[in-house]
Copies of this chain bind each other. A is one copy, B any other.
């Protein structure tokens, strides 16, 4: 106070002045002009000092929240895999991870869906949870739903109840049938063809990512067996999206199983403007990593430990 305000003929240490300025600016809420008057500096100089302080890392902004650490991961995921967007939710011991992912996915979609758009949906527990949370938004915004594969009717119908049915278009078939010929026949059905071509026009696709593990929903729901999974794994499968298994680079494998699926293929899926995947958990790390690598998805919604593991694994 004594000499500090008087002529600063010789600079008191640069850093000291700088942090003094920063303190006044960020903690006291003074404007740059006020600081300038007080310390006999031109306003513009104060501005430059603050800029330098920020660039030099002297001024550090901390976000005091469990979300804070997630954003850095999001940025890296987006950058590494060229995603349109990544969402990472904070680690949390308690609570079902699928519920939390579904919550995040529905939030994301709510912010993104515009009136009268069309959402194509795939298969899986997280997708179901997301749709349940979205139900209101869907009818309110007059969003059409269309299925990417067979086998979704079971859970979509619950969501769609109370809505005018004309906005919900389901492929009236199971996800997988027992023979290639049957699958071909179903795919040739007029109604099936119609729904599938409608799905190609959707604005967004919402899909889950499955791990090649015994806990997979595909096994639990009887669409595949453990021994089949074992074979897939030997062939290099690390995960699946809408029933299609892919290798560690996200390239779809050539499996007989795929011929028995009723649903869109990867080319058709990729043609949808934005493919949104919600998945997490340690079992799914490889599956998500491969899908991201292969460019199978545009938006990834996952959780913090999984995101961390994906990035670490990728760099190894």
A interface with B by C-beta (< 8 Å): 1-2, 4, 13, 15-16, 18-20, 22-24, 26-28, 39-40, 57-72, 89-92, 95, 100, 103-104, 107, 110-111, 136-137, 140, 304-305, 308
Contacts and interface: CB of A to CB of B under 8 A. Distances in A.
Contact of A28 (B60, B100, B107, B111): B100
Contacts of A15: 65, 67, 71
- Copies of this chain per assembly: 2
Pick the most buried of A4, A18, A65, A304: most chain B CB atoms within 10 A of its CB.
A65
Contact of A140 (B24, B66, B72): B66
B61 A57 contact: no
A-B residue pairs, 8 tightest by C-beta: A19-B67, A26-B61, A15-B67, A23-B71, A60-B62, A19-B68, A1-B91, A19-B65
A241 B283 CA distance: 55
A90 B23 contact: yes
Given A20-B71, A39-B111, A71-B16, A136 B28 contact: no
Contacts of A90: 20, 23-24
Contacts of A67: 15-16, 18-20, 58
A59 B63 CA distance: 5
A308 B4 CA distance: 13
A39 B112 CA distance: 9
A28 B102 CA distance: 12
B40 A71 contact: no
A59 B64 contact: yes
A15 B66 CA distance: 9
Contacts of A57: 64
A136 B68 CA distance: 13
A101 to B, nearest CB: 11
A28 to B, nearest CB: 6
Contacts of A308: 1-2
Contacts of A92: 24, 28
A56 to B, nearest CB: 9
Contacts of A22: 61, 63, 68
A69 B23 contact: yes
A91 B95 CA distance: 40
Contact of A65 (B1, B2, B4, B58): B58
A58 B111 CA distance: 15
17 contacts: A1-B91, A1-B308, A4-B91, A18-B67, A19-B63, A20-B67, A22-B68, A23-B63, A24-B92, A28-B95, A57-B64, A58-B64, A58-B65, A59-B64, A60-B61, A61-B62, A62-B62
